[in-house]
Amino acid sequence: MRCEIVASLLHSPKVLFLDEPTIGLDAVSKVAVRNFVKRVNKESGVTVVLTTHDMGDIDALTDRIMLIGKGQILYDGSFTQMKSKYDSVSILTVDFDTNGEIPMLPHTILLSCENGRAVISVDTVKISVSQVINHLSQILTIHNIGVQSRPIEEIIADVYEGFAI
């Protein structure tokens, strides 16, 4: 794959089309290809058009994303804007001292709570993660907090589902 990419750059194209550039590659090779593509884009100003099902490629290589379904453009914009537009849930993982009941705020769901670890779903459209953390820090002795978005695969699936694709 790396040789194919290098060969496609021999004539200094302005646009480079890559179809599933990391398919079948091991983790080390994927990182090398992604870094090379980023470097070519940045240093040579080559526009890279990427078609892929690999969410790691999308996350690592794109500033702009275009989702196409049934021949129609469903979304065209920045990756960050897509995540904020279609992902209204954050998952908090809280490690704390006690094993008691945790009074939850509205727009939050306690997904699990055992052995001093709570996993909480937060509807970030209706309440901010910082409000939930502030609430929890007033009632718990917190050791660690992790905040995660939903996996990008789920967000993209929601976009397609919204368009009945």
Q: pLDDT tens-digit profile of 132-165?
A: 999 998 888 899 999 998 888 888 888 888 887 7
State the average pLDDT for the chain: 89
Among residues 150, 90, 155, 153, which one has the least CA distance to residue 120?
A: 90
In 3D space, the residue among 137, 139, 142, 141 whose CA is nearest the CA of residue 103 turns out to be: 139
Q: Round to whole Å and give the CA distance between 142 and 70.
A: 48
Q: What is the pLDDT averaged over residues 28-42?
A: 92
State the pLDDT at residue 99.
61
Ordered DSSP codes for 30-66: HHHHHHHHHHHHHHH--EEEEE-S-HHHHHHH-SEEE
Tokens of 15: 């646009």
What pTM value is reported for the model?
0.64
If you search the block for the tokens 């989702």, which residue do you land on? 67
Choice between 84 and 68, residue whose per-residue pLDDT is larger:
68
